[in-house]
Amino acid sequence: MNWIKPDWPLPAHVHAATTLRGGGVSSGGYASLNPAGHVGDDPQHVQSNRRIIKQMLKLPAEPVWLQQVHGIEVVKADRVRAVAEADASFTDQAGTVCAVLSADCLPVLFCGDDGAVVAAAHAGWRGLRAGIIEQTLSAMHCREVSVWLGPAIGPQHFEVGDEVRTAFVGDKPKAAQAFKDRGSGKWLADIYQLARLQLAELGVERIYGGEYCTVTDAPRFYSYRRDGAATGRMASLIWRD
C-alpha cells in the first residue's frame, strides 16, 4: 500500500492518510509519488502524481494545496480559491480535503470531538515554536480535539544548534526534556515530544502517532535532511463526508 492509514480512532465519516513515496511517476530523487510542485520536479509528473493520489485515496475533491512558509497562518480550506500562503488549513464542510506536504517536518492532523471540524498543519521547528499548533486549534473552535502526528525526522537524527534549543526552552523550561546534548553546541531534538508538550499544555489529551523517522526509512519516506534539495514530499490529508 502506498499510503499510511493513521492508527487513530476517528468518527466513521472522517478519513485521513499520509502518502508514501512509492507508486508514482517521478524519477531521480523525486521517485516516485511526489505531489509537491515547488521542489524542482517535472510539473507534469507532479500533476500525474496528484491524480494518482486522488484516485488511490478516493478523495472527494482535489486537496487544498498550500504554499507553506514555516509560519503560523491558518486558512479555511473551503474558502480557498487559489494557492494560499499558509501552513495549516481547516474545514467544517464535507468533501473538502485539507492537506500539507512534508519531508522531515512534522505533519499534524486534527479532528474535532464529533468530527465536524478537521484540520492539517505543517510544523517544522520554526512553525512549531511560533505557534502553528495553537493557531490551528484556535481556528477550529472545538471543545475537544484529537491529534495524529505523522511521519517526521526522528529524535536520533534531528541535530540542531544552541539557537534552536534556546528558542524553545527560553520561556518553556519543560521543553528541555526534548533535547539531548551532543556537545559543541549541538543537540538532538525530538520534534514529536515538542509537539506533545505543546498539545498537552493546550489541553489536548488524545494524541496518536509519532513513531516514524523519515531519515532512516528511505524506502517509504522522502527526507530533505538525508537527500538534500532534490527530493519529494509526502502528503498528509484529512477530510470528512
Judge whether residue 171 has pLDDT over 90.
no
At 110-165, the pLDDT tens digits run 999 999 999 999 999 999 999 999 999 999 999 999 999 999 999 999 999 999 99
Can you tell me the distance from the alpha carbon of 206 to that of 48, in angstroms, rounded to the nearest whole number?
36
Q: Are 181 and 143 in contact (CB under 8 A)?
A: no
pLDDT mean over 155-178: 97
Q: Please, which pLDDT band fits residue 1 given cuts at 50, 70 and 90?
A: confident
Q: What is the residue extent of each domain of the chain? A: 3-153+205-240
CATH of 3-153+205-240, one of 3.40.50.2000, 2.40.10.10, 3.60.140.10, 3.40.50.300: 3.60.140.10
E strand residue ranges, 97-219: 98-102, 106-112, 118-123, 145-149, 159-161, 179-183, 186-189, 206-209
At 16-52, the pLDDT tens digits run 999 999 999 999 999 999 999 999 999 999 999 999 9
pLDDT of residue 229: 93
Q: Are 149 and 93 in contact (CB under 8 A)?
A: no
At 193-216, the pLDDT tens digits run 999 999 999 999 999 999 999 999
pTM for this model (two decimals): 0.98
Q: Output phi, psi for 191, to 5 deg.
A: -65, -30
Give the residues across from 93 on adjacent strands.
none
Quote the mean pLDDT of the chain: 97
